[in-house]
A and B are shown apart, each in its own frame.
Chain A
Amino acid sequence: MERIKTLKTRSLCKSAKNGGCGECQTSCQSACKTSCGIANQKCESKEKKSK
């Protein structure tokens, strides 16, 4: 029986090496305007698959 199922997630540690292109949306720009979070932001890096 599988006691632990690990979801596919982006590795934050790896993204420290290659991330930071800055092409992503500014955090509260397009919707909420009153409470910021980055959980719903999308990565827009052209090379995100390697990041």
Chain B
Amino acid sequence: MIHSYKLGGLNIVIDVFSGSIHLVDDVAYDIISLYETKTREETAAEALRLHGGEVTADEIDECLDSVETLKEAGQLYTPDIYGDKADTLKAKTSGVVKALCLHVAHTCNLCCSYCFAGQGRYSGERALMSFETGRRALDFLIENSGSRRNLEVDFFGGEPLMNFDVVKRLVEYARSVEGEKGKNFRFTLTTNGVLIDDEVIDFANREMSNVVLSLDGRREVHDRFRVDHAGRGSWDRIVPKFKRLVEARGGKNYYIRGTFTHMNPDFLEDIKTMLDLGFDELSMEPVVCPPDDPLALTEDDLPVVLEQYERLADLIVSRREEGRPFTFYHYMIDLEEGPCIYKRISGCGSGCEYLAVTPDGQLYPCHQFVGDEKFRLGDVWEGVTNTEMQAEFAASNVYTKPACEDCWAKLWCAGGCAANSYHAAGSVNGCYEYGCKLFRRRLECAIMAEARRMLADE
């Protein structure tokens, strides 16, 4: 399978199953598309009809030779050799836990109306995780991580800084045992910023491999939803704190992470606000909510959003050329040393290598399933006891999803988000088609921007 498209002044051909990417001229573009289904003679005749004014029959013949050479080298029209062994491929990376989303606080000092976590409570009562429960969660992770060295823990909520003392103690505990256990903890803090102070900044910049700072962009966009319990916007309070934290971060990773909704499908303006504020590691996500929610993105929003992604890619290219680069999470793509085929088939790892832990130690497949009782997998003391549910997640891969069968992007999205699939289609093997449309456009943009970078660096 190949996927061909034109974007950003480039003609791009992706050979889906080898991962090869070719930049081609208009003649080769048509020849490669035609030759996928036609004979060499038919392709040559059709190409001559299309491009006879530009090229000779001999040149078309030479181009076809090049195409056949690439095919023989396994870089064009590569057949799908993974489907019948997808289970085996996923099994190699399953069976261990390597990441926890630690819900240290099911409460929040903001009251964002679009929050998928129900203002931090996940349909339950307000709660804070105790140190003992958190420590047991870390031990559970170590005990179930097999030979994996790198372990990830995200302090999540609600608002995790509402339980900052426990966060600090858990990091201290992890650091005290990681050496003897042969592990390397990588912590992430996801915060709305309200409680950031000098102590938090010092701590986060010392201990957190990554910090995710929630900011929706323009003040009026941010303050429409990200309000406190008195209804007051939070933009003015948090932006100076985010600036201080990032300035003191010394180059370590962070994301300014926004959410866009039906109210601001023109989210590029929010990206530009983030850039104007001096931030340069950015993430912007479509809202997660039921389709009948007034904030849900609509079909009418779709062309607007897709165009925003294109313009964002152009902005990345132009700012890089101007010496003012920035990164956008979904456009960070490593073509030379990206994920192996095991990763590309296995997907997000939810329910298996990635679990969410509630304040009282319950285990769920991921943070987006927390609060939905039927997805409860067990707890950090007994481990996973709902093995039937876990098996459903373990068996899910990009080849168990019928909607992915003919999709050119499947080895880049790995089947997508299990929670999105479930909420849209009632099954983790279902399909959230709207999200797929956004993903495919983002991927096209990401590859174009990266190809432009590679060309510029030559």
Contacts and interface: CB of A to CB of B under 8 A. Distances in A.
B333 A15 contact: no
A37 B22 contact: no
A36 B19 contact: no
Given A9-B21, A31-B257, A41 B343 contact: yes
A1 to B, nearest CB: 8
Interface string A10-21: 111101101110
A42 to B, nearest CB: 6
Interface residues of A, number: 43
Given A4-B66, A6-B20, A38 B333 contact: no
Given A7-B21, A19-B342, A38 B412 contact: yes
A35 B92 contact: no
A3 B25 CA distance: 5
A38 B251 CA distance: 24
Contacts of A4: 22-25, 28, 63, 66-67, 70
Given A4-B28, A19-B343, A36-B417, A9 B20 contact: yes
A10 B413 contact: no
Contacts of A7: 20-23, 335, 451, 454
B107 interface: no
Contacts of A48: 337
Given A30-B154, A31-B210, A10 B336 contact: yes
B354 interface: yes
Majority-rule SS of A interface residues: loop
B285 A35 contact: yes
Interface in B45-89: 63, 66-67, 70, 74-75, 78, 81-82, 89
B214 to A, nearest CB: 10
B329 A31 contact: yes
Given A3-B27, A4-B66, A42-B337, A34 B342 contact: no
B312 interface: no
Given A34-B288, A36-B414, A38-B414, A22 B93 contact: yes
B353 A22 contact: yes
Contact of B420 (A9, A12, A25, A35): A35
B19 A12 contact: yes
A42 B24 CA distance: 27
Given A15-B341, A37-B330, A23 B210 contact: no
Contacts of B359: none
B43 interface: no
A15 B340 contact: yes
B18 A12 contact: yes
